[in-house]
Structure formats: structure tokens, C-alpha cells
Amino acid sequence: MANFTILIVDDIVENLQTISRFFETSHPEYRLYQATGGKSALELTEKTSFDLILTDWDMPDLSGIEFLRAIKSNARTKKIPVIMVTGVMLSSKDLDLALSAGAHDYIRKPIDPVELSVRTHTALSLAFCQWQEIEKKNIELVEKTLILIKNNEFNIQMSDKLKHLLEIYENNLEAKALIHEIIDEVDQKVKQDSWQQFELAFQNVHTEFGKNLILQFPKLTPGEFKLCILIKLGMTIKDMASLLYQSPDSLKVTRSRLRKKLQINNDINFNNFLAAF
């Protein structure tokens, strides 16, 4: 099983300690985060990608239901499974309310270690299966992308050789015109056709990424959107430059400006930030 990252939310410190001790004993490999309220928990979800959230229902600053709805309304966090933990809201009507708001499951207090183990294992197993499927598709996508990059590199080499021919046929206007036409066609193929093939393959894997990203950042330019896609896949500057038909240096500058535009702090990994969409 993967080294999952779990957020535990409760305004009572003793409850946080109880759940944390359970995971520290049974799964010391898990990364645990704690929050004593819904608002501070929301701030954590903006900085860290979580595989599971366990939240109390009755909290003073932001109730568990309000916190849950905020999580599910955010494109970056809506897929995180959330388990409601409560000792107050125990009726079937309360259960229906939590599930309708987007909760994956429901645990009653006082917490039974066996129930906590079973319910969290089920939620994390689902998250792990989803992650595995996405990773498999990502590997296939990267393989297709590398083929496109190699084709682009070949086309760029051909374009450079044709430009050299222009020097040889300097005084042959007919030959120069034909070479210019071929160069333009090759450049157009590199700039448009290869990207269209790549974007189609990407959308088949990450069906909601574009919609979620544009929804939160509607002022992204087409060029910035393309760069976000490639950063999400963890591609190198060299490969991105080849696919976008730009120089590595200009891409580094564009990437830096994009980070500022998206208001991503320097302590946040760009790839991890985009991975949540």
C-alpha cells in the first residue's frame, strides 16, 4: 500500500491524538497532518495534497458539513475521500446529510479501532486503485509524448537542413521559393499537428483537468495552459521546448512568470500543485 497522506480535523486535541496514535501504531509509514478547525484545515488543503481526510462534525469556526462542502466545491480537492467523525449527529437523517454533502463514509464516537481501521482501509484502497489507474495512463501518455518529441526533433533537423540549402541556392529564385514553402509546411506541422495529437491523448487521460484549471484560473492564455499540461506530467524543460517549438531559456522565463500568475509560493512544488486538478 502507498505511503498515504492523511489530514485529521477536530477542535478537541484529545480526539486528534486518539486517531493519530492509531495510525502511528498501525501504519507508521503514513504522513499525518492535524488541524483544530475547518478553516485551518482548508488552508492546509491549499498547500498539501491529501489522500484522505477525517473530520469532526461539530466544530466552532466551520462545521464538518461546511468544511466538507468547501472541499467538494474546490476542483483541486473534490476527489479526496472524506470520512465524517462525530459523537453528536448520529441519526440516519444526519448520515444522509453527510453522504449527500459528499462524505465517503461516517464513523461514530467513541471511535472503535476496528471500525476506524476498516473504514479508512476501504477509503484508502479506493484512492490507491484510482491512483494506480491514473499512473498507468500517465505512463502510456508519456510514451506517446516522447514519440512526438522525437518526430519534432527530426522535423526541426530537416528544417535546419533546408535553411542551409537556401544558402546554396542563393541565386536560384525558384528553388528558394520552393524551399521556403517546404520550411513553412514543416514548421506548421511541428507547431500545430504534434500538439493537437498530444492534447487529444492528454484529455483522454485527464478528462477534467482543463475544465478545473480554467475554472479556477480563467485568465490563463492558451500558451500558459499548454505549459500547465506539460508541467503536470513532470516533463523536462528540454522536452517541453521541443514539443512547444520554443527555446529552453524562454520556457524557463515563461514558467517563472506562470508560477507568479497562479500565486504559487516558492515552497510549493509546481507539479504537485497542478496534480491536484
How many Cα atoms are found within 13 Å in the side-chain-facing hemisphere of 6? 25
28, three cell numbers? 507508521
CA distance 231 to 254: 12
Q: What is the mean pLDDT of residues 127-147?
A: 73
pLDDT digits (tens, 9 = 90+) for 78-132: 889 999 998 766 667 877 888 888 898 888 888 888 999 999 998 888 778 777 7
Among 211, 249, 246, CA closest to 229: 211
227, three cell numbers? 505549459
Among 2, 11, 8, CA closest to 34: 8
Among 75, 11, 27, CA closest to 210: 75
Q: Is the pLDDT of residue 269 over 80?
A: yes
What residue spans define the domains of the chain? 5-111, 133-275
Least confident of 12-21, 139-148, 205-214: 139-148
pLDDT digits (tens, 9 = 90+) for 192-219: 556 666 777 777 767 778 888 888 899 9
Task: State the distance between the two ends of the chain, measured CA to CA, in whole angstroms.
Answer: 23
197, three cell numbers? 495529437
- CATH fold for the domain made of 5-111: Rossmann fold (3.40.50)
Least confident of 41-50, 116-125, 186-195, 246-255: 186-195
Look at residue 33 in the predicted model and tell me its pLDDT.
96
Q: Which amino acid is at 165?
A: L
Report which DSSP code applies to 189: I
Identify which has the larger pLDDT, 143 or 5: 5
Q: Which amino acid is at 135?
A: E
Give the start-end residues of each E strand in the chain: 5-9, 31-35, 52-56, 82-86, 105-108
